[in-house]
């Protein structure tokens, strides 16, 4: 499918294991690179809910922040990956909205710090639309409500193309975070939209709101939905 104008290509992967979603990111990265070379600009936002659950350890992660043994993870049906993203250890699973922006950062300031702040602003805008007072923390990347993290962010950049991204706890079973020291931060907690709002929060509606904020913050004309097979 051809994109119209300067639109963001949104690919909803549904429920998918971490490995196949990583493969989809790699295909999107290659398409962004090829588009840069031949003048056919395209940028992607991949949306996924990871199932089976997975724990990933980022480039700056410490092994001691994984509190469960491999046997315990296997018994719980949780996969484990060492990831090329920044950051420490985190959990992904059902009820969590994971977004992987694959952008040409040549078009967005060529500044990793600015890119991270823009990703945070996207989530802050979504929270504001729900009546929640989200905030940044000067010491840690991510988005917080009070003392609890609601969205973890860990990105990677290759030749100024971004991949990996953010994980927003929508209706996530927060007990699984007890298997790790989330993002390596011992003195803070984690929360979810469902806990903060005291009600069920549909993942699909949250994804729609995230797309709208992403288009606004990153200055796209709009969003075009692509099927996973178009990657």
Give the residue numbers marked as catalytic. 183
C-alpha distances (whole Å) from 190 to each of 178, 180, 182, 184, 205 are 10, 11, 8, 12, 22
Instruction: Determine the Cα–Cα distance for residues 63 and 225; give it in Å rounded to an integer.
Output: 39
Cβ atoms within 10 Å, residue 169: 27
Instruction: Determine the Cα–Cα distance for residues 72 and 19; give it in Å rounded to an integer.
Output: 20
Instruction: Determine the Cα–Cα distance for residues 38 and 60; give it in Å rounded to an integer.
Output: 35
Q: Give the DSSP letter of residue 65.
A: G
Burial 93-124 (b: 16+ CB within 10 A, else e): bbbbbbbbbbbbbeebeeeeeebbebbbbbbb
Instruction: Determine the Cα–Cα distance for residues 167 and 97; give it in Å rounded to an integer.
Output: 6
Instruction: Determine the Cα–Cα distance for residues 57 and 83; give it in Å rounded to an integer.
Output: 6
Q: Give the DSSP letter of residue 58.
A: -
Burial of 198 (0-12, 13-18, 19+ CB in 10 A): exposed
């Amino acid at each position: 499918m051809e994109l119209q104008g300067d639109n963001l290509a949104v690919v909803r992967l549904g429920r998918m294991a971490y490995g196949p979603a990583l493969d989809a990111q790699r295909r999107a990265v290659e398409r962004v690179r090829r588009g840069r070379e031949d003048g056919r600009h395209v940028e992607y936002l991949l949306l996924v809910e990871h199932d089976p659950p997975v724990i990933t350890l980022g480039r700056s992660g410490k092994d001691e922040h994984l509190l469960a043994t491999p046997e315990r993870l296997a018994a719980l049906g949780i996969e484990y990956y060492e990831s090329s993203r920044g950051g420490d250890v985190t959990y992904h699973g059902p009820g969590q909205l994971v977004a992987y922006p694959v952008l040409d950062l040549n078009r967005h300031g060529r500044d990793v710090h600015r890119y991270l702040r823009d990703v945070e602003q996207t989530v802050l805008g979504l929270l504001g639309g729900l009546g929640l007072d989200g905030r940044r923390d000067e010491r840690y990347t991510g988005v917080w409500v009070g003392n609890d993290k609601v969205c973890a962010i860990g990105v990677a950049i290759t030749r100024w193309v971004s991949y990996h991204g953010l994980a927003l706890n929508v209706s996530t079973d927060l007990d699984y975070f007890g298997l790790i020291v989330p993002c390596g931060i011992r003195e803070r907690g984690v929360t979810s939209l469902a806990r903060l709002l005291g009600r069920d929060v549909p993942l699909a509606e949250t994804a729609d709101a995230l797309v709208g904020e992403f288009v606004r913050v990153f200055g796209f004309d709009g969003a075009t939905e692509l099927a996973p097979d178009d990657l």
